[in-house]
A and B are shown apart, each in its own frame.
Chain A
Amino acid sequence: MTVNGAEVAAEVEDRTLLVHFLRETAGLTATNIGCDTTSCGACTVLLDGESVKSCTVLAAQADGHDVVTAEGLAMKGAGEAGGGELHPVQRAFRSEHGLQCGFCTPGMVLASVSLLRENPRPTEEQVRMGLEGNLCRCTGYHNIVRAVLAAAGEMAAEPAEAGAEAGAEVAR
């Protein structure tokens, strides 16, 4: 499969979950595991550009497809962690203090990216409904919602930038 634009191939047990494939085989640990019942959304990644819970997808099911994790979301030209340009959604999460411990954040950000792709101008209620599958225990969601709305505003103002998201993606 392609992960953040790079081909990753390995032989794994048939029952390997995509989230474990990403964390253990592809070595990308930003995607986290927070539950066993597809409830918390911490494992959310983009599969062919759409948010999915990678704990409930077999690695085998993602074979031949494109996966984007939080590490791959930064803008083209982004360097190592902390450098480079953040994706507008990541920028908004920072400016609005939409993260505290950070554990839910990769999944929350990717769920938000997918939400905005499908609904570029959501209302507050639509943002909350759109994130119903993502739990956060630290923020009370208040600033997460502000971040998504802020990112929506910014991305609507600069469609070219939004369209040029991470080179890892596949247009759907």
Chain B
Amino acid sequence: MSILGTRVVRTEDPRLLTAGGTYTDDLRLPELAGALRVTFVRSPVAHAEITGIDAKEALDSPGVVAVLTAADADDLPPAAGRPTTEPLLATDRVRYVGEPVAIVLTEDGYQGEDAAELVSVDYTPLDAVIGMGAALAGESLLFPAAGSNVLRSGGGPAPDGAFDGCDVVVQRTFPNQRVAPVPLEVRAAAATWADGRLTLWASTQNAQQARDQVAEALGLDAAEVRVITPDVGGGFGAKIATDRDTIVVAWAARRLGQPLRWVETRNENLLGMVHGRAQQHTIRIGGTRDGRILAYHLDIVQDCGAYPRFGLFLPSLTQLMASGVYDLPYCGSSFRVVVTNTTPISAYRGAGRPEATAAIERAVDLFAAEIGQDPAEVRRRNLVPPDAFPYTTPGGAVYDTGAYPAALDKVLAAAGYPELRAEQARRRERGDAAQLGIGVSCYVEITAGDYSGGETSRLVVDGTGAATVYTGSSPHGQGHATAYAMLVTSELGIPMDRITVRHGDTDEVPRGIGTYGSRSLQLGGSAVHQAAAEVRDQARGLAAGLLEASEADLELDLSRGVWQVRGDPDTALSWAAVAGQAGPAGLAADVDFKPASPTFPFGAHVAVVEVDTETGKTTLLRHITVDDAGRVLNPVLAEGQRHGGIAQGVAQALLEEVRYDPDGNPLTSTLADYAAITATELPSFELVPMETPTTVNPLGVKGIGEAGTIGAAPAALSAVVDAVAHLGVRHIDMPATPLRVWTAIREARS
């Protein structure tokens, strides 16, 4: 029986549990001995001109070796020259609180914090652009040379007549609010410049992209840069490639010719690491009184923060997935991307797709409420039917496989939906202060959206019979080492404890794309699977020679990990023997796996909440999910991804929000103020298994990493609104904090 599909505990864990991981700030390497510490000086104001920087007092501070600003960056290639180009260290203007302005290099970290306070920067404040309304109004421009705060737009309004034939049309505007990724490990880097080469250790989700980014920024060839990825304490999209802070560290290491290390504080992280989401949605949905949705339009305003990073492109993903799981006669969308004096926006768990799902799920609920029908039934009536795949959406996505009605049925059954509605009815009848809310969401999402880049795998079986996988994937908690070892053992019969998975060092893995967008198992795993098959084919030929038999007469006994003449165990040849026969380098295969398309996992969630109608506080009682990402290789890993995803989705729905005051001062820049979700706000989750394989890759797998988040937020929000719907509430903005819920109840009652 294959190990694939079985529950396998992780190979990564013994080391992590006993020694703790080696994260970037844990490195104690000889190359970094005597490294100076980097401390950033960051802008305390949201929008200002820099009129002077005086480092004299800082330079006199104990342990200070240097203070560097943009003025020292004369050894860098000229900037791209677009008005919106983001500098490394701020030049003449700062555009968000936390923007890097200078660095102080000290002998130890404590000195750095002292000295950074002494760097005196003169700011002439400018009007801060906070909020999409202010950005669109354009009275103050972040980039005067760009002429507008709107950097990009697309799509268009619904054509005339799109909503004809609708008995009912609902329109609403609501936020998909800015959140902070909050990986437990903040950003960190270490760098050395030696023998004309830069070595950079960074907490990244893809060393190869980081290498290319750093090389370009510093005017180096990729071969002159080596990026090494230590253990990474969570990424969630926010550590894709690298960013200006890390590039500054690399630059400074070259400039000084001394090893440097950097780790930020959490406060810096909440200001300086990219934020996620920050869209505003205007939905328009129309249909018949018996629940058929005829038309849906989504307008998006994307706040991309002070500089265009991936936030510039997020709305395109939202547009692509706008129609969700529904078969809609008309679905259209439009977007504008604006800059504001806030932290830049980039990919965060779901990156554009949670937004699409949140918008249409809210719209469907509003439509259901308007026509007075059960929201689960309205969904069922409009789902893409199971025989319609591959299904091309109005947005141009081609869904590979899906069974949306079955997912909905399963989750409703597992939740005990009729009983929940009955309990809700009883509490409403009694007028209880604690009301029950049930929220349903149906979702589909795109994984391996950048499938054309594929993923690499090199597999080597050496003369000792051990196997080493070199993957372009870059795990930061997902358990790829275990999953990929399972793939190798299932193909070759080499025991798990003789398989090593290497990643994240560009000298070992020069080409690779990395781990984000839920791409790794389907791309990286397929590459490993294919490489294993190629190694097996090579081995078969060599074994045939050694055994003086024909290849057709040979078998690979997977349970013992030996090649033998079929049915004759006495002829057993070890992998060591076969690999030794291949030469000193053993057996090797290099694969660049490039599928023809992305994949589309899907699912349905039910959230059950209790809302204290007197205080507005929500307690999440249960959260039941179907998350179908095709074949499940290791249920342990898949469940873990679902759990983590659900928690972040619920967090956005109920608790978390990055906030600024009207002057652009951050209000949530510590973990005491930013309400990152803890164990006490969550129940244990109820996961329903469902596997609808894809035909896009040989493993039949789709991506699971972001699905839980995408399905969870709409369901949780929907449940809160549902709990107080009988009081006249139709909508509450995320996050549905106690204040918001109480306010909604009050307003509905008045």
Contact = CB atoms under 8 A, between A and B. Distances in A.
Direct contact between A and B judged by beta carbons closer than 8 A: yes
Interface string A34-59: 11111110100000000000000000
A164 to B, nearest CB: 17
Interface in A113-172: 124, 127-129, 131-132, 134-146
Contacts of B29: none
B9 A40 contact: no
Interface residues of B, number: 59
Interface of A: 13, 15-16, 20, 23, 27, 29-40, 42, 70-71, 73-74, 78, 80-84, 86, 90, 93-95, 97, 99-106, 109, 124, 127-129, 131-132, 134-146
Interface in B234-272: 234, 236, 263, 265-267
B80 interface: no
B685 A102 contact: no
A16 B113 CA distance: 13
Q: Which 10 A-B pairs give the minimum distances between C-beta atoms?
A: A30-B20, A103-B233, A101-B477, A81-B19, A140-B647, A100-B477, A140-B643, A102-B16, A39-B671, A29-B26
B750 interface: no
Interface stretch (B448-456, B525-533, B675-683): B675-683
B684 A124 contact: yes
Nearest to B266: A35
Contacts of B676: 39, 135, 137
B14 A86 contact: yes
Contacts of B672: 37-39
A131 B13 contact: no
A101 B232 contact: yes
Given A13-B110, A29-B20, A32-B184, A103 B679 contact: no
Nearest to B671: A39
Contact of B644 (A70, A135, A137): A137
A97 B184 contact: no
Contacts of A143: 639-640, 643
B335 to A, nearest CB: 29
Nearest to A100: B477
A15 B110 contact: yes
Nearest to A84: B18
B680 A128 contact: yes
A18 to B, nearest CB: 14
Interface in B258-311: 263, 265-267
Contacts of B639: 97, 143
Contacts of B685: 140, 142
Contacts of B637: 97
Contacts of B477: 100-102, 138
Nearest to A74: B18
B63 to A, nearest CB: 11
B110 A144 contact: no
Interface in B341-357: none
Contact of B680 (A23, A78, A132, A142): A132
Contacts of A38: 672
A94 to B, nearest CB: 4
24 contacts: A32-B20, A34-B671, A39-B670, A70-B17, A78-B18, A82-B14, A82-B15, A94-B17, A97-B636, A100-B644, A102-B12, A102-B13, A102-B17, A102-B21, A104-B184, A137-B183, A137-B644, A137-B676, A138-B640, A140-B647, A140-B682, A141-B647, A141-B679, A142-B682
A86 B671 contact: no
A97 B10 contact: yes
B143 interface: no
Contact of A70 (B18, B23, B648): B18
Contact of A35 (B9, B21, B110, B671): B671
Contacts of B20: 29-32, 70-71, 102, 105-106
A101 B26 contact: no
Contact of B640 (A31, A74, A97, A102): A97
B479 interface: yes
B186 interface: yes
Contact of A131 (B186, B640, B679): B679
B17 A105 contact: yes
Interface string B679-711: 110101100000000000000000000001000
Given A29-B25, A100-B644, 11 more contacts: A35-B670, A36-B671, A84-B18, A94-B10, A101-B233, A103-B233, A105-B16, A105-B17, A135-B671, A137-B236, A140-B645
A1 B555 CA distance: 61
Nearest to B643: A140
Contacts of B10: 94, 97
A144 B679 contact: yes
Given A95-B9, A100-B644, A101-B233, A128 B16 contact: no
A68 B739 CA distance: 42
Nearest to A128: B679
B184 A34 contact: yes
B684 A37 contact: no
Contacts of A145: 679, 684
A80 B682 CA distance: 36
A32 B21 CA distance: 10
B185 A32 contact: yes
A16 B16 CA distance: 26
A106 B647 CA distance: 21
B646 interface: yes
Contacts of B468: none
A71 B19 contact: yes
Nearest to B479: A100
B643 to A, nearest CB: 4
A101 B266 CA distance: 18
B636 to A, nearest CB: 5
Contacts of B266: 34-37, 40
A35 B479 CA distance: 25
Contact of A40 (B26, B184, B636): B184
Nearest to B640: A97
